[in-house]
Structure 1
Amino acid sequence: MSKDSNQTPPRNGEGDRSATPSGGGVFSASTNARKVAKRERRSGNLPEVLVWRELRKRPGGYKFRRQHPLSEIVLDFVCLERRFAIEIDGDVHNRGDRPERDLMRDAYLASRGFVVLRLPAGIILARLEDAIAMIVAACDQRQPHHHQPLAGGPPPRTGEVLLMTETGLK
């Protein structure tokens, strides 16, 4: 009897995975960032709650995610289709080393193809409708990350299926 025959078989979901996770790409997130995002989704501050209430309605037809983990950071709001992030900045973002940290964070996001719109919390509390209109206008200016396939070209990848009426094909 060999040594391997005495071992218990792996449970569901376990198996021959390498010690280092693979894949993920530009949208991968650390376990810590996922935990922080989950916690933040439950405890949003008033400006974030107001913005989320409007973004859930998909203004301009754009889908947004709230407290989205990306690498080691968590974005307040993001439209992945346009690689567009929205950060709600309170007064703390003007103190200490925070402005420099925000610049480094924005540069990191830019290196991954994201544009960041920073909105002061005071503006949101005073003029929420204007802030939402600014977000939609900024999304409109960005090109979608995935373009529509050419007629007669290869089919779109999974998750990129377009409605026939949108493409004009019959």
Structure 2
Amino acid sequence: MPPSEARLWNALRELKPLGHHFRRQVPLGPYYADFASHRARLVIEVDGDSHHMGQALVRDAARDGFIAAQGYRVLRISNDDVRHNLDDTMAMILNALADTPTLDPSPQGGGRRRADSPANNKGAGEK
């Protein structure tokens, strides 16, 4: 693992007590994300200088599009930011985690009940 990724990985692991769990080298279709939180549907990519020019931009855009189609948000962070601004980088990640949409609960009475559910067995003869 490159030094910048290792540094960020150590910082991401410190978020686990706060309820944020990341995995590294996560397969998503034909790609491997540097880091991903399945619960937050967040992918973090640590990019070197080569990601900011030419064909790399095209490849990254295609990759980001595929990952977004799987329901994940992609956060791209430069090696320099990890090396020189780790506190700000972690603040940006925490903001992204705070913006994670939550699933809406089903409407009242909208779920199915099992036949043996106490709610369906109110007593003999009751309607």
Aligned to 2:12: 55
Determine the structure 1 residue equivalent to 2:66: 108
SS at match of 1:107: helix
- C-alpha displacement of 1:75: 0.2
In proportion to residue count, which structure has more strand?
2
Secondary structure of 1:97's partner? helix
How many pairs align? 110
For structure 1, the 5+ residue unaligned runs are 1-43, 155-170
The sequence identity of aligned pairs, in percent, is 35
SS for the counterpart of 1:118 is strand
For 1:140 and 1:149, how far apart are their aligned partners in 2?
22
Cα 1:100–1:58 change in 2 (3 A) is same
| SS of the residue 1:142 aligns to | coil
Given candidates 80, 96, 102, the residue that maps to 2:54 is 96
Q: Alpha carbons of 1:149 and 1:89: their partners in 2 closer, same or farther (altered >3 Å)?
A: same
> Structure 2: how far apart are the matches of 1:89 and 1:131?
13
2:37 is the counterpart of 1:69? no
**Structure 2 unmatched ranges of 5 or more:** 112-127
Using structure 2 for the length normalisation, give the TM-score. Answer: 0.77
Please, which moves more after superposition, 76-85 or 58-67?
A: 58-67
Question: Secondary structure in 1 aligned to 2:54?
Answer: coil
The 2-side partners of 1:55 and 1:151 are apart by 37
Q: Among 98, 109, 126, which residue is 2:84 paired with?
A: 126
Secondary structure of the 2:87 match is: helix
- Detail structure 1 runs of 4+ shifted over 4 Å in the superposition: 146-154
Which residue of structure 1 aligns with residue 2 of structure 2? 45
| Displacement after TM superposition at 1:103 (Å) | 0.7
Secondary structure at 1:77 match in 2:
strand
For residues 47 and 62 of structure 2, the distance between their equivalents in structure 1, rounded to whole angstroms, comes to 15
SS where residue 117 of structure 1 aligns?
Answer: strand
Relative to 1, partners in 2 of residues 1:151 and 1:65: Cα closer, same or farther, differing over 3 Å? farther
